[in-house]
Structures are given as C-alpha cells and as structure tokens.
Amino acid sequence: MASARLAKAMKSHEERTATEPRDKSLHPVLLDTITPVNSRIKRYRFSIKDENGINFLPGQWLDVHVPGIEKAGGFTITSASGHAKPTASDDEHVPFLELAVQKSPDNPPAAWLWQIEESIVGKELDVRVGGSFVWPPPGVDMDKIKRAVFIAGGVGINPLISILSHIRKEHPSIEARFLYSTKVPSKDAEPSQVLFLLQLLDLFRKPRDEQSNNRLELFFTGAWDGSQLNRKDDEPVHPLMSLTIPKLDLETEVPVVSRTHRIDEAALSSAVGDDEQQIRASVFYVCGPPRMTDSIVEFLRAQNHVLHEQVLCEKWW
C-alpha cells in the first residue's frame, strides 16, 4: 500500500487524474490577488476573461497551466460556483475563481505561484475544470437528502469549503455538520491564520433565537512550532480555544466546539447519529491525507444504515 501511494505521488497531477472527467476547453484567467494565510498557505484569486464565466460543480479542481512550465498543476477550486458566472443583479461583478495553495518547492506549478507577488500578479494562466468529487453527490437521490456531513483534514478542506458555501446559499434547508482537523502555526495563532476558519465561522453563524442542528467541530491536532495546545489551568485561553466562548454579540452565535486531538471514533459516531431515518437522509464527504481518509471512510461505511454511495471521498496527494 505504501509503495503504491509513493508511486502515485511521483506522478504528475494530470497522470494521477487521467481517469477523472475533465472539460475539453482551456480558459484564460488573470491572477488578481494573493493573500497569505500563514507561512505555509496562500490564497489566490483569478479573474475570468471569458465574459460568460466558467461552469464548474462545487468540489472540482483545476488543471492550472502556468507560464513556462509544461505540465499542469492540480489545485482545488475553493470559491463557490456562483462566483464564476456573471450575475444579472450586479453589473460590476467580475467572475472569478479562488484557490488555496500550500507551499511546495518540489511542485513546479505551486512553486511558480509562490514567487514574489509583484512578479506574477497580473499574469495570464490557462485553466481547465475537472474532477468527480462534487455536489450534488453522483448516484444519490437528492430528493431524499436532508443532511450533509463534511470531514476535512488539513488542506482537504479546499473542496469542502466550496461545497459548503454552495449549500448554505442554494440549499439552506439542508442540515450541515462540519468536522475540521488541522495543525496550526502555534498555540497563539489567530483564527485568521487557520485556512478558511473565519469563513467557516461565518457560514455557520445564525441568529441566537434560531433552532438549528447545524454544527461546526474543530480539531486542532498540534502546532507547527511544537508549542503545546492543551491549556493548563493557570494559563490564559489562547485565541483558537476562545472560539468556544460566546462573543459579545447579542444578535448571532456560532454553534462551534474546539478540541485538541484528532477526529476520533466518538466524534464520527456522533456525526453519523443513531436515527435510521436521519442516516438514510445523509451524505458524508471526506477529504484529507490518504491514511486519514481511508480510515474514516472505512469507519463510516461500516456503520448501520450507511450505504456505500452515501460516503464520498477525495485523496490525491
């Protein structure tokens, strides 16, 4: 198994995804802005040159052709699909795509994107849409789906944030539960330094008097600098753990809990639930490092009343 994963990792993005569906057309885009998240991840916004925008399904990725590099890189679209199309209600809206790219000097397209900002902003690139890890889930009767459970590990959040953004806007009646496991820069990291954390908090924000089963669960598994996340009684609450403390906002709140361990079977069992009708009406999306994804998918599919096609996963790094 390990040798197979290594062999796959040695292949280019296009070789790894050769059997995946992808569009025939390349689309020119302009790199507009680069926003650092932390020392390891940056977010990129590309304006779409085609006046008709680009069609894609939430969860899909892009073949990204950067100048001077023969082979395309593969990066998941993190923006909502509606942002990539012109809107009749807003004449000033410029269709765009967003990506979040982890620093990877050994990946030529990623290394190109991690150049000095001034040298690449405004450059034109070509992109192609592909991938089958999408919303709506293939082979599932959407008339029966009332609930979506998302389980993300690290940058595996990329396709899931696009899917969740789409659901919250287009299908707000679908109950959402999101489990996000990630390391953080340090124990004193601010929420803005955790990829898509602020966006997640906004997507789950609700009026205080609204009854909802939506839930966000955060699992901070360690710090890059080796600092300890577990708080002692005589230490102040650091910024990430303080997410569980109600903010001074009389109008809204976020149903969120944060923990300092990996997503375990207890958390997964709670996310699945024990109500057969609810389980039958659920879909489960899993995206993270291969070992994490494999173990979680295996656990979910072994639960009572969970059908194979209700559990979808993405793993290609």
Q: Which fold has domain 142-315?
A: Rossmann fold (3.40.50)
H/E segment holding residue 203: helix 197-204
Q: What is the pLDDT at residue 242?
A: 77
User: Does residue 146 sit in helix, strand or coil?
Assistant: coil
Q: pLDDT-based confidence at 274, cuts 50/70/90? A: very high
pLDDT digits (tens, 9 = 90+) for 93-125: 899 999 999 999 999 999 999 999 999 999 999
When comparing pLDDT for 176 and 3, which is higher? 176
Domain spanning 1-130: CATH superfamily: Translation factors (2.40.30.10)
Q: What is the pLDDT at residue 235?
A: 66
Sort 143 into a burial class: Cβ within 10 Å, 0-12 / 13-18 / 19+: exposed
0.75 exceeded by the pTM? yes
- The token pair at 3 is 């040798």
| Structural domain spans, the chain | 1-130, 142-315
DSSP state of 310: G
φ/ψ of 268, rounded to 5, equals -65, -40
Q: Which of 76-90, 181-195, 264-278 has the lowest mean pLDDT?
A: 76-90
Q: What is the pLDDT at residue 317?
A: 58
Mean confidence (pLDDT) of the chain: 92
Answer yes or no: are the C-beta atoms of 119 and 126 closer than 8 Å. Answer: no
pLDDT digits (tens, 9 = 90+) for 249-259: 778 889 999 99
Hey, how many other C-beta atoms are within 10 angstroms of the C-beta on 240?
Answer: 23
